[in-house]
Amino acid sequence: MALVKSVNGKSPRMGEDCFIAENATIVGDVSMGNQCSIWFNTVIRGDVHYIKMGNKVNVQDNATLHCTYLKAPLNIGDNVSIGHNAIVHGCTLHDNVLIGMGAIVMDGAVVESNSIVAAGAVVLEGTHISSGSIYAGVPAKKVKDITEELIAGEIDRIANNYVMYSGWFK
């Protein structure tokens, strides 16, 4: 059973048809929509500020989601995939976003819809990623515009696959 814990009177709230891995940790002021999946060894800490996730969000193995006390909450839209070992901290991810494996997205960053943050990228504090962009590198910079094929072939495919994968564990 996952560690789901209240902090300062605030408890995590899960939507319908969600999968939470047995060794995931979710604490505090965390809310998630429907068809979300939280994978093995993931930590989601809503202890110092709120974390709000939309529908069909998958947070893959070993990822960490956190905030900054009284400064930077974490807002995540619908149809978002957060890759293995990623760190997403006090930022905003709009709908249809892919955060690659091992990427770091820092406080105050905004990733607009239909965008990809490449594996291993470091999105610095306050960076604004415009809709339809691919960012890569350290620090992350725009490398190109996203194509409709990448939106369907990567962002949508991965989000939909994780809904399917989670069904194997329910």
Say what the pLDDT of residue 150 is: 86
Report residue 167 as tokens. Answer: 């069904």
The answer on pLDDT for 46 being more than 90 is: yes
The rounded distance, in Å, linking the Cα atoms of 147 and 132 is 8
Q: Which residues contact 122 (CB under 8 A, 6 or more apart)?
A: 103, 104, 106, 137, 138, 139, 140
Choose between 170 and 18: higher pLDDT: 18
> What is the domain partition of the chain in residue ranges?
3-167
Task: Judge whether residue 155 has pLDDT over 90.
Answer: yes
- The C-alpha atoms of residue 90 and residue 73 are separated, in whole angstroms, by 5
Expressed in angstroms, the distance from the first to the final Cα of the chain is 12
> What confidence category does residue 72 fall into, taking pLDDT thresholds of 50, 70 and 90?
very high
H-run or E-run covering 163:
helix 157-167
Element (H, E) at 160: helix 157-167
Sign of CA pseudo-dihedral 5, 9, 12, 15? positive
SS3 26: strand
What is 3-167's CATH topology? Answer: UDP N-Acetylglucosamine Acyltransferase; domain 1 (2.160.10)
Kindly report the average pLDDT of the chain as a whole number: 97
For the entire predicted model, the pTM comes to 0.97
Q: What percent of the chain has pLDDT over 70?
A: 100
Mean pLDDT of 28-32: 98
- Could you tell me the two tokens for 57? 């969000």
The tokens of 157 are what? 């495919």
Phi and psi torsions of 150, nearest 5°:
-70, -35
With cut-offs at 50, 70 and 90, classify the pLDDT of residue 170. Answer: confident
Contact 83, 63 (CB under 8 A): yes
